[in-house]
Amino acid sequence: MIAVGGGKGGVGKSFLVANLAAVLARDGFRVVAVDADLEGANLHTCLSVPAPPRSLADFVAGREPDPVKLPVETPIPGLSLIAGTHAHLELAHPEGARRTALLRGLRRIPADFLLVDLGAGNEPVFLDYFLLADEGLVVLAPEPTSVENAYAFLRAAFYRRLRLALRSHGVQELVAEAMDQRNERGIRTPLELLREVEARDSREGARFAETMRAFRPQIVVNQVRSARDVKLGYSVRSVCRRYFGVDADYLGYVSEDPAVRESLRARRPVVEIHPRSDAAIYLRRIARKLSRSAGGGPAVGGSR
């Protein structure tokens, strides 16, 4: 399960999910693309499924309790879609344990890869997908506003994970306090918070450090125009280390390419209609890195 988030709208999350899913499916994996952006669902359009008969909204609203029945076929063999359409405005993801159960239910879907497209913003439900996934991709574009939102998203995800990991009430309160950036203790970064927790409670300190190690976001820079834009991924990685004490990976980048807009107009992934474009080359590179880190090639016959 790979969740794709990043805070800002328009950076290319849906584009990335549609294209990585298409590459992995063409490589012989069974892939399901999931549109968790119920308010701005458009993955179905990127994948040429104009009117999906079922969607994640049916699952969230309880109309379809079996997640295995949600995927619908796309024109690409091996790639199916859980659309995000038909959500009513008042439809909200359930809270707490029921939400976790719901998200875990998606894992029962028989597939090699589940790619989840998260909406913009730091909604708790998006953070939960991000934290529950095996890989969390943070997409950013080389613009200050996008970089800012990517950090805000990472920070929110990190603190959410931390609050779920810690047991002692006192330390949880300390974390809640530290999340306010003007807190009176002068805790400015998660790393400073770790020092404070360690001083107070060594077992919680150890849990905290463990949580930091387990949090390993993957950075993708999209719409790259220059060598300087490419380097952005490295600087985000080093800020993650200094600020969060977290090792992020720079998974890759995708160039800005006119073929992308053209492919969207055709409602098809760019890797399908312009496989030799620059964007397609970089997208395949990222997809293959993901399949390698997930443990190799598809099973013969396509069922695993």
Among residues 174, 197, 182, which one has the least CA distance to residue 245?
A: 197
Identify the residue among 92, 131, 264, 281 touching ligand ADP (CB under 6 A).
Answer: 264
Query: Which three-class secondary structure state does DSSP give residue 198?
Result: helix
Among residues 152, 165, 107, 88, which one has the least CA distance to residue 126?
A: 152
Helix then strand count (H, E) for the chain reads 13, 8
Shortest Cβ 221–ligand ADP spacing (Å): 10
Alpha helices in 3-120 (DSSP H): 13-26, 43-46, 56-60, 96-105
Identify the residue among 1, 3, 13, 274 touching ligand ADP (CB under 6 A).
Answer: 13
Identify the residue among 192, 249, 256, 262 touching ligand ADP (CB under 6 A).
Answer: 256
Give whichever of 14 and 122 is closer to Mg ion, judged by the CB atom.
14
Contact, 281 vs 288, CB < 8 A?
no
Binding to Mg ion by residue 14, rule CB under 5 A? yes
Give whichever of 150 and 254 is closer to ligand ADP, judged by the CB atom.
254
Give whichever of 80 and 222 is closer to Mg ion, judged by the CB atom.
222
Binding partner at 161 among ligand ADP, Mg ion, none, C-beta below 5 to 8 Å by kind:
none
Binding to Mg ion by residue 85, rule CB under 5 A? no
Give whichever of 13 and 274 is closer to Mg ion, judged by the CB atom.
13
Shortest Cβ 4–Mg ion spacing (Å): 9
**What one-character-per-residue DSSP string does 140-180 give?**
E-SSHHHHHHHHHHHHHHHHHHHHHH---HHHHHHHHHHHS
Residues that bind Mg ion (CB under 5 A): 13-14
